[in-house]
Structure 1
Amino acid sequence: MIKAIFEYQFLQNAFIASILASIICGIMGVIIIEKKLVMMSGSIAHTSYGGVGLGYLMGFEPIIGAFLFSICAALGIGYIKRKGGTRSDVVIGLFWSLGMALGILFVALMPGYPPDLSSYLFGSILSVTKANLYLMVSLTFVVIFVIILLFNDWKAYLFDEEFASIIGIKTVFLEYLLLVLIAMSVVVLIRVVGIILVIALLTAPAATAGLLTSNLKKRMIYSVLLGNVFCIAGLWISYVINIASGAVIVIVSVIFYLLAYIVRSRYIRIKRKRISIANV
């Protein structure tokens, strides 16, 4: 496959896309897990399907529609959640369903044969275009810049939001900013693993890194590295046996996490047994 990367443009695009996706997963995944926003991220991802359908209906780039819908969903969920008008899980479920329903409706309204949206639902990293890459690079740069610029504020906000508010950190601003960053992350990942599989790639590398260290900065670094391993391994496997790349990447990620969890649990059990024997 290494030789093929230098020969084929679509493989070069896929390789670059996998690296960008890994960076996003590594950084944002840790924050999402720490703030328990996994299901909210899934809701934002599924809402973006409405934007994909609107893009096809109106004749503009579907990924732009997904971006707009993701941002609106993120801000909408954040506003309703903060106002406390209803339970957050209800809002998440409603936005989740609404986005998918709108996507189906917009595609149904199109004249002629409906387009194949499977690449947006399940991902198709091998079909990533130059335009997709430019958007992914821009969004990845924004996410990295914001996280690095406000890293100490993020640290305080993640581990003790009340304390962060007391010392003068604008937690409301950080909450809305975090939701917007999640929306950006979703758009970056749509072409890699698709709307349906976004949650797995956002959580698996970060969750695996969490088994290795509790330090926030190290978790992000390990998560980025693991994300690269998962994406490149999944890309290679899918290329060799000619199956959907997004699904393979997710399967590799989840299997690796489960193995790491089993090994760590066994290690902790053995360590406790040795301590108890030593105390006796």
Structure 2
Amino acid sequence: MITPVDFFYDLVNPDLAFLPKALLVAVMSSVVCGVIGCHVVLRGMAFIGDAVAHAVFPGLAVAFVLQGSLVLGGLVGGVVTAILVALFSQHRRLREDSVIGVFFVAAFALGIVIISAAPGYSGSLQDFLFGSIVGIPDEDLALTAYVGLGLLAALFLFHKELVAVSLDRESARAAGLPVLFLDLLLYVLVTVAIVISVQTIGNVLVLALLITPAAAARLLTDRLVPMMLIAPAIGGGSALVGLYLSWSLDLPVGGTIVLVATVAFLLAWLLAPRHGVVRALVRARPRARPRPRIAAVSGS
């Protein structure tokens, strides 16, 4: 196992130019997923995050066949599917999870059909599903940075409205908020966060990057703003530690990052100052009652 100092030297080694690019993409995508993941956890949308990860696949497949940008292709495919889900979900006879199950699984199936028609698809399919730290082009690195900044800006501008819809949709609708637009916006932002994370962590594991840091942060604080600061910190730290461990121990980068984030979640579950298991056990432990004093009886 290499030391952190050796890992730093590898990062600045010109012959390993892919390594700092992988680290930048991993940290940027983890930070973005950590922030948007707070809204996903607050709203109970974990299933939607998993479905969006399937929805971006046809866009990735088309981009691969056309030799185009995977990030751009995934964005187009995921956004189109998210818009269709948001529109069909407005029908009162259809539950949101039912519409998601129809469109996102169909999108994933379409992606498999498209990419299977391309020569040499099996190796690329593995990269899509499980991530790869090699071969990230410079244009995708820049696109990830610009798209991530745009996503954070959109979250900042519509923060209060998104929170209002997440807490009580009917009250938000009665207050005149554009619920359909805000649903579309949130679906699109979740899609964007997932797309910029796929190349590093893979299509299968990307949901963990979206949910796990935010869930850990939820255990550590009761307020949304601190949660949206803690979650990206956990995500970015998990990306850094996970990439270091995967590089030094020759482990899959996506799986290692997810395992590090899971350890952070378990530590928060155990040791959170207010909601941790250890704290709950301490509270539940019966306190020793003071022994009653027996008055001394003096003989006459």
For 1:136-182, what per-residue CA distance to the aligned partner results, in whole angstroms no more than 9, with x for missing partners?
11211111111111222233222233333333322221111111111
Aligned residues: 277
Alignment map for 1:69-80 (pairs within 5 Å)? 69-80=77-88
Q: Structure 1 residue 269: deviation in Å? A: 2.4
Separation in 2, partners of 1:21, 1:275:
47
CA RMSD of aligned residues (A): 2.0
Q: Which residue of 2 aligns with 1:155?
A: 163
1:4 is the counterpart of 2:16: no
Q: Is this contact kept in 1: 2:246–2:253, CA < 8 A?
A: yes
- The residue type equivalent to 1:2 in the other structure is F
SS in 1 for 2:177: coil
Q: Structure 1 residue 91: deviation in Å? A: 2.3
Between 203-212 and 255-264, the greater mean CA deviation after superposition: 255-264
Q: Which residue of 2 aligns with 1:62?
A: 70
Say if 1:43 and 1:269 are closer, same or farther in 2 by CA, change over 3 A: same
Q: Structure 1 residue 126: deviation in Å? A: 4.1
Separation in 1, partners of 2:121, 2:243:
28
Q: Which residue of 2 aligns with 1:273?
A: 285
Alignment map for 1:171-250 (pairs within 5 Å)? 171-250=179-258
**TM-score, normalization by structure 2:** 0.86
SS in 2 for 1:243: coil
Q: Structure 1 residue 28: deviation in Å? A: 0.4
Q: Which residue of 2 aligns with 1:93?
A: 101
Separation in 2, partners of 1:21, 1:51:
18
Q: Is this contact kept in 1: 2:215–2:265, CA < 8 A?
A: yes
Between 209-218 and 60-69, the greater mean CA deviation after superposition: 60-69
Q: Is this contact kept in 2: 1:157–1:164, CA < 8 A?
A: yes
Q: Which residue of 1 aligns with 2:4?
A: none
Q: Structure 1 residue 78: deviation in Å? A: 1.2
- The residue type equivalent to 1:240 in the other structure is S
For 1:74-107, what per-residue CA distance to the aligned partner results, in whole angstroms no more than 9, with x for missing partners?
1111111122343333322223322222122112
**Which among 47, 50, 58 is matched to residue 58 of structure 2?**
50
Q: Structure 1 residue 14: deviation in Å? A: 1.5
Q: Is this contact kept in 2: 1:204–1:253, CA < 8 A?
A: yes
For 1:43-72, what per-residue CA distance to the aligned partner results, in whole angstroms no more than 9, with x for missing partners?
111121112222233343333221111001
Q: Identify, as 1 or 2, the structure richer in helix.
A: 1
Q: Structure 1 residue 205: deviation in Å? A: 0.3
Greater Rg, structure 1 or structure 2? 2
Q: Is this contact kept in 2: 1:42–1:96, CA < 8 A?
A: no
1:29 is the counterpart of 2:37: yes
Q: Structure 1 residue 5: deviation in Å? A: 1.0
Say if 1:48 and 1:276 are closer, same or farther in 2 by CA, change over 3 A: farther
